[in-house]
Amino acid sequence: SATPATLSAISNRANHGVLFKGGAAMEALSTMTELFTDKTGTLTYGEFSVVEYDLPEDYLKEVVYMEQQSSHPIAEAIVSQFQHIPLDKVDQSEPVEEITGSGLIKGELRIGKPSDFIEYANIREYTNKSKEGYTMVIVGEKNAIVGYFLLADQVRREAVQAVSDFQKEGIKVTLLTGDNEEVAKKVSDEVAIQSYASSCLPEDKINWIQNSQKEGEVVGMIGDGVNDAPALAHADIGIAMGSGSSVAMETSEVVMVKNDLNKLYDSYKVSQKLNQVIR
Ligand code: ADP
Ligand code: MG
């Protein structure tokens, strides 16, 4: 069981919006040697806005209806930006399926990232419209792509300082994202993060973590999405953003209620001091 000093540190951290689920979590954080981080909602606010789109009105209605079934930040942005459009004539009986991990939404249409549409003959015509740093969403019918969206998100103000602080401590920080190479690179540059891996499926995130663990690293992972939950569970210290999905919070040892990454660094320093005292 936790010592009085540990309990007091846990309560102090809780006052700063960082919830530790027990003394073991605080001890684990003090020994962390490597940190993986998700992008959307974690290093960024996860508050997208549609900056450009091209899609016939009937398809747009169908997309809004389908995205209403998804809780991804991209879905929320599309639904809220086009909420004024009446969804008449949309067949709401057609089932909508969300492929967890790849982010593909399937129903009357297919909605997802360009890499899910490489077998479509007219994909080039659309990827040519992508702009560096924007997330592209493609809308396809059975055999042809019918439109696209470009969305923008912003890096969290505290992310740059927090990542720099961890890297100065000798902790290797790596971005793991389901998003494309260009966006991964742009965010890595903006946050000055040492390395990144793009187009990651949930199992790819797990692989990165397990490979580091095999090399003897004590691995932390920060994330917020349903698709991060398996990786958060495999990490030595899973850290969930409070703004994220409940499954991410349930599978993590630490919950960042206020989403402030600087508070995570402060907590890391507190955990180290505590363990020096105990040892
Ligand atoms: P990250 O790892 O950066 O948090 P995700 O794994 O959540 O990103 O999503 C990966 C990609 O899948 C997104 O960049 C987006 O292109 C696509 N995607 C996910 N959910 C949706 C959705 N509801 N609608 C359209 N595209 C989606
Ligand atoms: Mg995310």
CA of 72 to the centre of ligand 2 (A): 8
Tell the residue nearest (CA) to atom 19 of ligand 1.
Answer: 103
Across 108-137, average pLDDT: 92
Across 190-194, average pLDDT: 94
When pLDDT is cut at 50, 70 and 90, the band that residue 252 belongs to is very high
When pLDDT is cut at 50, 70 and 90, the band that residue 107 belongs to is very high
Tens of pLDDT, residues 142-181: 889 999 999 999 999 999 999 999 999 999 999 999 988 8
pTM: 0.89
Tens of pLDDT, residues 15-45: 999 999 999 999 999 999 999 999 999 999 9
pLDDT at residue 152, as a whole number: 93
pLDDT at residue 278, as a whole number: 56
Across 87-110, average pLDDT: 88
pLDDT at residue 132, as a whole number: 83
Per-residue pLDDT at 100 exceeds 80: no
Per-residue pLDDT at 256 exceeds 60: yes
Q: Among 66, 134, 136, 177, which is best to mutate for testing ligand 1, by the most ligand atoms less than 8 A from CB?
A: 177
Tell the residue nearest (CA) to atom 14 of ligand 1.
Answer: 179
CA neighbor of 223 nearest in space, from 215, 213, 234: 234
pLDDT at residue 279, as a whole number: 53
What strands lie across the sheet with 49-54, from one edge to the other?
A: 49-54, 145-152, 135-140, 110-112, 104-106, 97-99
Ligand nearest, relative to CA of residue 178: 1
Residues near ligand 1 with C-beta < 6 Å?
Answer: 38-40, 67, 70, 72, 74-75, 103, 105, 111-113, 135, 137, 177-179, 225, 227
More confident residue, 235 or 180: 235
CA of 122 to the centre of ligand 2 (A): 29
The full set of domain ranges for the chain reads: 4-45+155-278, 49-152
Q: Does domain 49-152 have CATH number 3.40.1110.10?
A: yes
CA of 152 to the centre of ligand 2 (A): 14
Name the residues annotated as catalytic.
Answer: 38
CA neighbor of 26 nearest in space, from 5, 50, 40: 5
The CATH code for residues 4-45+155-278 is: 3.40.50.1000
Question: Helices (DSSP H) in the chain: which residue ranges?
Answer: 4-15, 23-30, 57-67, 73-81, 123-127, 159-168, 181-191, 202-214, 229-234, 246-250, 261-278
Tell the residue nearest (CA) to atom 9 of ligand 1.
Answer: 178
ipTM (interface predicted TM): 0.95
CA of 86 to the centre of ligand 2 (A): 30
Tell the residue nearest (CA) to atom 4 of ligand 1.
Answer: 40
When pLDDT is cut at 50, 70 and 90, the band that residue 103 belongs to is confident
High-pLDDT (> 90) share of the chain, %: 84
Tens of pLDDT, residues 61-84: 999 999 999 988 999 999 999 999
Long-range contacts (CB closer than 8 Å, 24 or more residues apart) made by 268-276: 268/29, 268/30, 268/32, 268/166, 268/169, 270/9, 270/12, 270/13, 270/26, 271/9, 271/26, 271/27, 271/29, 271/30, 272/30, 274/5, 274/6, 274/9, 274/26, 274/30, 275/27, 275/30, 275/31
High-pLDDT (> 70) share of the chain, %: 99
Fold agreement between 4-45+155-278 and 49-152: no
Across 213-227, average pLDDT: 96
For residue 202, the ligand 1 atom closest to its alpha carbon is: 6
